[in-house]
A and B are shown apart, each in its own frame.
Chain A
Amino acid sequence: EPEVTQTPSHQVTQMGQEVILRCVPISNHLYFYWYRQILGQKVEFLVSFYNNEISEKSEIFDDQFSVERPDGSNFTLKIRSTKLEDSAMYFCASREAQGSGELFFGEGSRLTVL
């Protein structure tokens, strides 16, 4: 069964460092998302991406965050200068078609900022 894959599964970094989280969406999917979940909190929308550009972003997704689809396969989330409060599980998700079709989530990347 096709799946969304994410790497790394866990990353520990020092405050102020740059972090790149990688995702490989399901191959025929066109719509991509990043969500995050701080421990014990709800899953929060960060950004959506379609046709090589951001469709929508939340207030969490400030100038420290960026997304890219550099090679038609990977979909990356970059945090330029990490803060303690960026510690969370980051989920990538993808969807095949327009409308409200099912979102398929990756297993997540746990980011710990020290």
Chain B
Amino acid sequence: RKEVEQDPGPFNVPEGATVAFNCTYSNSASQSFFWYRQDCRKEPKLLMSVYSSGNEDGRFTAQLNRASQYISLLIRDSKLSDSATYLCVVFIYGGSQGNLIFGKGTKLSVKP
């Protein structure tokens, strides 16, 4: 069973559209949750952390449902520059340090 599952897409949307990504995780010991963004052949970069109460950062809204082990990301008024792969990431604290477990990513392409 995959630890972090995402719809791979691609999502092809016009500028200005609202798009939602979903993610499920299998390890109930997962402690923290994030959305990272990865541009083609670049390193992952933190987009936002995800909190149980839900959180918003400008056009981006993230939600977490611990009971369902489900994470979502909503992008409103999408821009051309939002085109990227969005990675759902969980932090599992094990041993002395813990590490990030990545989903395979959902590819978004915003068209003019």
Q: Which label, helix, strand, loop or mixed, suits the secondary structure of the A interface? A: strand
Known: A102-B46, A106-B43, A107-B43. A31 touches B97 (CB 8 A): yes
Q: Is the CB of A55 within 8 A of B95?
A: yes
Q: Is the CB of A48 within 8 A of B97?
A: yes
Within the complex, which residue of B94, B96, B97, B102 is in contact with A44, where a contact is CB–CB below 8 Å?
Answer: B102
Residues of B within 8 A of A (CB): 31-32, 38, 41-46, 87, 91, 93-105
How far does the Cβ of A93 sit from chain B's closest Cβ, in whole Å?
A: 8
| Bound-complex Cα distance A2 to B59 (A) | 27
Residues of A within 8 A of B (CB): 31, 33, 35, 41-45, 48, 50, 55-56, 89, 91, 98-100, 102-103, 105-108, 110
Considering the complex of A and B, which 10 residue pairs feature the smallest CB-CB distances, nearest first? A100-B32, A55-B97, A105-B43, A42-B104, A43-B102, A100-B91, A56-B95, A55-B96, A48-B97, A45-B99
